[in-house]
């Protein structure tokens, strides 16, 4: 310990009478010393360790330097750059050694404005002589630019992005250097890193071509891997494969490593090409590469995803899932969220509810224990613990529940052991969780015996997740502060309906942010949650869940408009307060429910039609048909791209055809096809069941009409006549 520091430290721990003497005397000379002076010297010493002395003298603020740079993991270089720039001399009289020492200190986290300021000061330090602007200076600027977020620029045209323009400006400056100056791959990597965030293929190609032709810098392995990752994020698999093949044939130094192979495996997953993924895995093993945890996770997830698609699996769904388990079993860990996610995907697609429950319970409770010490409230803990992807897999497993089905793992000897260990290690009671005041509300049994248990447990978990584990908060209670007086206040404060609507929805969003877990309340999880009663053949539970957790855009506007009109009427009303308050009961209940509901979208209406098919419910089908018609008039639908609208309309029309076909109302199904022919490109797989039904009925005319639609795809000239014949 430094002598002066030790002296102050000892003095502050002595009795009250001692510091008066000890702190005011120099330990070496026995002369009186000033405490303020000693602390100042100490601060100066610390600051000099963080920045070169010359720079500290310009900044002249040791507290700022210490405050900004003492945290090595999160330094604030922006404050340092701004302070230097505000000084009169800036870096003009600073030695090259001091500047080089500062740049070596890993100047990072700069904003675009700070980068501009630093660039100006560095130019000033070399008297604007770009030939003296050295590689460390370029490296610092390029590195900081590469870490910026393009969203901050708020420019729709990526070519005009400020940070991108700055990258090009620096390259143009480099072009003016003497010919002996050489560019290097790290700068290319910085340019590619930032350009990837812009999601711009032309800009990516621009930098690759510029470095190749102007600087004679060929992309190295790291550069090409970055390019492949970019193509993967842009859903351009063919370009990624071309780049991957190029890496193989360039040289040994360019040959793909395990990071590149993992990226290509992800592309196989995106395209559901499990055969190519298996080839890649065998290829990397042949090259003596060591698969990483990520490699096994990707392989398992690819096989799980492909097994869920009947067309992709080609009847090999169980074999693919079993192979997926063999890959993931090599990891044998429940600490990695990706490994747990892969295992949950495999068990969910297999309908192995017992394993999915065990995995979710163990992982979530382990995460809860880890974070319990660092969080303040239970709600904060649970909201950080809940993983929507894992929870969705659990809901998917519930939806595929079948007590008569033999779990796939039991057909594999090691799988039997894996499954047995997973189920035996989990304890759904409080006995093994005495350190946890609250646990997940899951039934204390290894296997759920029937669908009633599945419906009950899934409903309890859904409720628990939405309220962030706060059992004192009832999901269906009225939010604090929402009452008759609040509605009156909103009516007085807002003169128009649009203002009233904005205020109400702002209030709802405020409740949702503070009381509801919005990461769980999303369309993906909700759709899976609603699918459970459909597959388990419980229409009452489906309609209950649909009512409790969804609302329609048109319905929202009607309710809010009625509430606004009643509020206006209340201001001048002569009715008794009790009468007026009673009129608002319905409004309050509806507004309360909005905090835990999400608006129905295309997927929700499609699911409702699937439910109508499952339950053979003409009323539900008719209601869904009409409601979706109202939905098509809303801004929510209009915001979809034309292609998306056509695809969604095609899917819904196909479901309507399937509904009438299942009820053997073939003429109605055919009417839908003919009436939508101008907008929907009907293919045979979309009408296969209808065709079979008409053939069985021996309705040759309808069969001929249907096949004409499918084969010719140009029946518009006869459409009006056919519509008249069918009395549309």
Q: Give residue-wise pLDDT tens across range 611-662.
A: 999 999 999 999 999 999 999 999 999 999 999 999 999 999 999 999 999 9
Which range among 122-126, 130-134, 157-161, 639-643 shows the weakest confidence by mean pLDDT?
157-161
Q: Rounded to 5 degrees, what angle do the CA atoms 86, 90, 96 make?
A: 155
Residue 20 has pLDDT above 70, yes or no: no
The two structure tokens encoding residue 180: 């002996």
Residue 38 has pLDDT above 80, yes or no: no
Reduced to 3 states (helix: H, G, I; strand: E, B; else coil), residue 598 is: strand
pLDDT at 70: 84
Cα–chain center distance at 286? 35
Sequence ranges of the domains in the chain = 640-728
Q: Which residue has the tokens 């721990």?
A: 13
Q: Express the helix, strand and coil content of the chain in percent, nearest 5 each.
A: 70, 0, 30
Contacts of 660 (CB under 8 A, 6+ apart): 666, 668, 669, 672
- Cα 80 to Cα 91: distance, rounded to the nearest angstrom: 12
pTM for the model stands at 0.83
Q: DSSP alpha helices (H): ranges in 616-699?
A: 618-631, 635-638, 642-662, 666-675, 684-697
Residue 588 has pLDDT above 70, yes or no: yes
Class of residue 412 by CB neighbours under 10 A (exposed 0-12, middle 13-18, buried 19+): middle
* % of residues, the chain, pLDDT over 70: 87
Question: pLDDT tier at 431 (50, 70, 90 boundaries)?
Answer: confident
User: If we measure between CA atoms, which residue out of 466, 610, 452, 590 comes closest to residue 530?
Assistant: 610
CA distances from 246 to 171, 241, 242, 250, 256 (A): 27, 8, 6, 6, 10
CA 625, 630, 636, 637 dihedral sign is positive
Task: Count CA atoms closer than 13 A to 652's CA, side-chain side.
Answer: 25
Q: Give residue-wise pLDDT tens across range 281-321.
A: 999 999 999 999 999 999 999 999 999 988 888 889 999 99
- Cα 296 to Cα 331: distance, rounded to the nearest angstrom: 8
Class of residue 288 by CB neighbours under 10 A (exposed 0-12, middle 13-18, buried 19+): exposed
The two structure tokens encoding residue 303: 């096989």
CB 230 within 8 A of CB 196: yes
pLDDT at 31: 47
pLDDT at 238: 96
- Cα 172 to Cα 505: distance, rounded to the nearest angstrom: 50
Contacts of 434 (CB under 8 A, 6+ apart): none
């Amino acid at each position: 310990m430094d002598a002066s520091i030790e002296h102050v430290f000892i003095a502050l721990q002595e009795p009250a009478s001692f510091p008066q003497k000890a702190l005011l005397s120099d330990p070496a000379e026995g002369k009186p010393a000033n405490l303020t002076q000693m602390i100042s010297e100490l601060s100066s010493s610390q600051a000099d360790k963080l920045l070169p002395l010359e720079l500290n003298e310009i900044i002249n603020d040791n507290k700022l330097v210490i405050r900004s740079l003492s945290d090595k993991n999160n330094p604030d270089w922006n404050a340092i750059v701004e302070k230097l720039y505000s000084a009169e001399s800036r870096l003009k009289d600073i030695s090259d050694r001091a500047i080089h020492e500062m740049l070596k200190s890993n100047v990072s986290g700069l904003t675009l404005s700070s980068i501009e300021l630093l660039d100006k000061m560095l130019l000033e330090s070399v008297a604007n002589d770009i030939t003296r602007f050295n590689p460390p200076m370029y490296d610092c600027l390029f590195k900081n630019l590469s870490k910026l977020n393009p969203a901050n620029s708020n420019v729709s045209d990526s070519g005009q992005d400020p940070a991108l323009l700055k990258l090009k400006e620096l390259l143009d400056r480099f072009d003016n250097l003497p010919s002996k100056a050489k560019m290097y791959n790290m700068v290319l990597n910085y340019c590619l890193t930032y350009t990837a965030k812009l999601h711009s293929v032309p800009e990516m190609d621009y930098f690759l071509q510029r470095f190749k032709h102007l600087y004679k810098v060929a992309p190295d392995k790291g550069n090409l891997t970055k390019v492949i990752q970019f193509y993967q994020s842009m859903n351009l698999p063919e370009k990624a494969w071309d780049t991957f093949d190029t890496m193989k044939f360039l040289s040994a130094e360019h040959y793909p490593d395990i990071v590149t192979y993992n990226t290509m495996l992800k592309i196989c997953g995106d395209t559901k090409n499990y055969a190519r993924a298996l080839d890649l895995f065998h290829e990397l093993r042949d090259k003596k590469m060591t698969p990483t945890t990520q490699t096994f996770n990707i392989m398992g997830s690819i096989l799980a995803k492909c097994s869920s698609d009947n067309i992709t699996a080609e009847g090999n769904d169980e074999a693919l899932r079993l192979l997926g388990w063999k890959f993931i079993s090599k990891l044998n860990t429940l600490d990695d969220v990706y490994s747990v996610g892969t295992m949950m995907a495999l068990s969910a697609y297999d309908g192995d509810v017992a394993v999915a429950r065990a995995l979710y319970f163990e992982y979530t409770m382990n995460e809860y224990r880890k974070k319990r010490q660092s969080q303040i409230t239970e709600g904060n803990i649970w909201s950080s613990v809940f993983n929507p992807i894992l929870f969705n897999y659990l809901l998917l497993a519930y939806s595929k529940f079948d007590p008569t089905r033999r779990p796939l793992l039991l057909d594999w000897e090691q799988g039997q052991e894996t499954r047995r260990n997973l189920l035996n290690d989990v304890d759904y009671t409080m006995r093994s969780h005495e350190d946890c005041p609250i646990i997940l509300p899951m039934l204390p049994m290894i296997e759920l015996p029937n669908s009633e248990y599945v419906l009950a447990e899934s409903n309890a978990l859904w409720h628990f997740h939405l309220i962030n584990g706060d059992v004192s908060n009832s999901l269906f209670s009225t939010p604090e502060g929402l009452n008759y007086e609040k509605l009156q206040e909103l009516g007085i404060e807002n003169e128009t309906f649009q203002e009233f609507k904005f205020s109400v929805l702002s209030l709802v969003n405020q409740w949702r942010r503070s009381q509801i877990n919005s990461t769980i309340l999303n369309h993906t999880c909700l759709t899976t949650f609603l699918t459970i009663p459909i597959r388990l053949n419980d229409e009452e539970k489906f309609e209950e869940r649909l009512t409790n957790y969804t609302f329609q855009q048109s319905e929202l506007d009607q309710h809010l408009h009625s509430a606004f009109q009643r509020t206006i009427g209340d201001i001048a009303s002569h009715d008794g307060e009790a009468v007026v308050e009673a009129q608002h009961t319905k409004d309050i209940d509806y507004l309360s429910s909005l905090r835990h509901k999400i608006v129905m979208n295309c997927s929700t209406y499609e699911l409702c039609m699937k439910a109508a098919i499952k339950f053979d419910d003409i009323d539900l089908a008719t209601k869904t048909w009409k409601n979706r018609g109202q939905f098509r008039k809303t801004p929510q639908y209009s915001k979809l791209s034309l292609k998306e609208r056509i695809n969604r309309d095609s899917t819904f029309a196909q479901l309507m055809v399937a509904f009438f076909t299942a009820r053997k109302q073939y003429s109605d199904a055919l009417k839908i096809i003919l009436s939508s022919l101008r907008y929907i490109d009907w293919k045979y797989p979309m009408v296969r069941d209808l065709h079979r039904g008409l053939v069985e009925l021996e309705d040759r005319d309808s069969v001929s009409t249907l096949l004409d639609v499918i084969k010719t795809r140009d029946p518009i000239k006869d459409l009006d006549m056919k519509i008249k014949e069918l009395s549309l």
